[in-house]
A = this chain, B = another copy of it.
Amino acid sequence: MDEAPFTFDLIATQTNARAGVFHTPHGDLETPVFAPVGTQATVKAVTPAQLAETGATLVLSNTYHLYLRPGADLVAEMGGLHEFMQWPKPMLTDSGGFQVFSLSAIRKIDAEGVTFKSHIDGSMHRFTPESSIQIQEKLGADIIMAFDECSDPYDETYNRSAVDRTHAWLERCVNAKTRNDQALFGIVQGGVFPELRRESARKVAGMDLPGHAIGGLSVGESKAEMHEMIELVNEILPTGKPRYLMGVGSPEDLINGVLRGIDIFDCVLPTRLARHQSAFTHAGRINLMNAAYAHDKRPIEEGCECYTCRTFTRAYLRHLIMAKEMLAATLISIHNIQFLVTLMKQSRQAILKGQFANFASDFLAQYKTSSKKVSS
C-alpha cells in the first residue's frame, strides 16, 4: 500500500509546539489546524463557500451518522464525501466508535465488534473494525480513523481491556484497509492512567502509520489530567508524524494542545455554541442574547475579519436571536469557526517566528475560560 502522499514536513518547532505541513490528495494542510465538524455532511448552517471564506481547510464528518443516513453506498455513488457535500479540501472521518458509545441506545460489545441501536429509528446495526474501514473507504475522506473502544476515563479495569481491544482492532483496521489514497490514523487510549497511555502510545507508534490520534480526552477529566496525558503520550509518539487530539476545541484547549505538540484538532464547539447564541472573543465567550447588546453597534469582536464581524452589529445579531431567525446561527457559526481557524494560523505564524511561548501566554492571560457546558 503506497502511503507516499501522506508525508508530514515539520517546518519549525518551539519547545514542544510544532508548525508543519501534512500532504494529502486534496491539498496540503498547514498545521496546527482546527477542523470544524460537518456531522451529517454539512457544517451546520454554513455553506461550503462560507466555510472556505473562514479559512477552514480540514473538515471532519461522522461515519456513524453518514452510515445511518444517507448511507455510505449513496455517498460513494455520488462520488464520495468531498463531491457529495462539495468540500474540495482535505477531509477526515472518525470511525463511528465514539458515537456508538455516546449516542446509540443499546449496545453489545464483544471481541469482534459492537452491536448498537440507531438513535434515528431504533433499528439494530453492527460495526466491526473491518466494517468501519469499509464504510470510511466508501465515504472517501483523506484521513480515516481506526475503530476503537471508548471507556470511562477513571475506570482502570475497563481502560485496561479497552486499550487491549483498541490495539487488536487497530491491527484489524490496518489489514482491512484497501485504498492507498487515505491515511489511517491509529488512536491512543488509556483514560487518565499514565502507564496505560504510554503503553498505548508505544503500541500505536509501532504500527508505522501516517499519523496518530489521542482519543478519550475532554470527556470529564480535569485540565491538569488532560495536559499530563497529552505530554506523556507525545513524548512517545514520533515527531515526524502528525498528532491529532480528538474532539477538543475550546480556544484555551487548542493553545494548550499546541504548547504540548498537537497538530490537529476538531470539535463541534464553535457551531454548537453558535446555535446557543454564544460567540468567542479574545476576552472569553459572550452570549449575544444578553440585553446588554440590544443597542451595541460594535461587531462581535473589533478587528475580527470574518464576514459577520465585517458586516453586522451585535445589536442586529441579538435582534435575529430574539426574533428566532435561523440566520443568527449561520452568522455566529461563521464567526466562531473563523476565530478558531485564525487562532491556529496565528499560532503557526508565532511558532515560525519563535514567538509562540509569548503568544500562548498572552492569549491565555486574556481569555476568560467558561466552564458552562452546552448541550446539542
Contact residues, A329-343 vs B (CB, 8 A): 329-331
Using Cβ atoms and an 8 Å threshold, which residues of chain B touch A10? none
Contact (Cβ within 8 A) B78 A313: yes
Contact (Cβ within 8 A) B46 A327: yes
Assembled-state Cα–Cα distance A85/B327 (Å): 11
Using Cβ atoms and an 8 Å threshold, which residues of chain B touch A295? 74, 77
What are 23 inter-chain pairs, A to B, with CB distance below 8 A?
Answer: A41-B323, A42-B320, A45-B326, A45-B327, A45-B330, A47-B50, A47-B307, A47-B330, A47-B331, A49-B311, A69-B322, A70-B322, A74-B294, A74-B295, A74-B319, A78-B297, A78-B313, A78-B315, A84-B319, A86-B311, A326-B326, A326-B329, A330-B330
Shortest Cβ distance from residue A64 to the other chain B in the assembled complex, whole angstroms? 13
Contact (Cβ within 8 A) B74 A323: no
Contact (Cβ within 8 A) A70 B319: yes
Using Cβ atoms and an 8 Å threshold, which residues of chain B touch A84? 313, 315-316, 319
Assembled-state Cα–Cα distance A315/B77 (Å): 10
Contact (Cβ within 8 A) B42 A327: yes
Question: Nearest chain-B residue to A79 (Cβ)?
Answer: B297
Using Cβ atoms and an 8 Å threshold, which residues of chain B touch A77? 295
Number of this chain's copies in the complex = 2
Contact (Cβ within 8 A) A48 B325: no
Contact (Cβ within 8 A) B85 A316: yes
Using Cβ atoms and an 8 Å threshold, which residues of chain B touch A65? 323
Question: Nearest chain-B residue to A46 (Cβ)?
Answer: B327
Contact (Cβ within 8 A) B311 A69: no
Shortest Cβ distance from residue A219 to the other chain B in the assembled complex, whole angstroms? 25
- Tell me if A312 counts as interface (CB < 8 A to partner B): yes
Also in contact, A47 and B319, with CB within 8 A (given A78-B297, A294-B74, A312-B86): no
Question: Nearest chain-B residue to A73 (Cβ)?
Answer: B295
- Tell me if A89 counts as interface (CB < 8 A to partner B): no
Could you give, for residues 285-320 of chain A, a 1 whenever the CB lies within 8 Å of some chain B CB and a 0 otherwise? 000000000110100000000010001110110011
Shortest Cβ distance from residue A177 to the other chain B in the assembled complex, whole angstroms? 26
The tally of residues in A whose CB lies under 8 Å from a CB in B reads 38
Assembled-state Cα–Cα distance A42/B49 (Å): 20
- Tell me if A44 counts as interface (CB < 8 A to partner B): yes
Using Cβ atoms and an 8 Å threshold, which residues of chain B touch A320? 40, 42
Given A47-B330, A84-B319, A86-B316, 10 new contacts (CB under 8 A): A40-B319, A41-B319, A69-B322, A70-B315, A70-B319, A74-B295, A78-B297, A84-B313, A85-B316, A326-B329
Also in contact, A74 and B307, with CB within 8 A (given A42-B325, A327-B42): no
Using Cβ atoms and an 8 Å threshold, which residues of chain B touch A325? 40, 42, 44
Using Cβ atoms and an 8 Å threshold, which residues of chain B touch A42? 320, 323, 325, 327
Assembled-state Cα–Cα distance A31/B307 (Å): 31
Assembled-state Cα–Cα distance A48/B327 (Å): 10
Assembled-state Cα–Cα distance A251/B288 (Å): 39
Question: Nearest chain-B residue to A65 (Cβ)?
Answer: B323
Question: Nearest chain-B residue to A84 (Cβ)?
Answer: B316
Shortest Cβ distance from residue A180 to the other chain B in the assembled complex, whole angstroms? 27
Question: Nearest chain-B residue to A45 (Cβ)?
Answer: B326
Assembled-state Cα–Cα distance A74/B320 (Å): 13
Contact residues, A54-90 vs B (CB, 8 A): 65, 69-70, 74, 77-78, 84-86
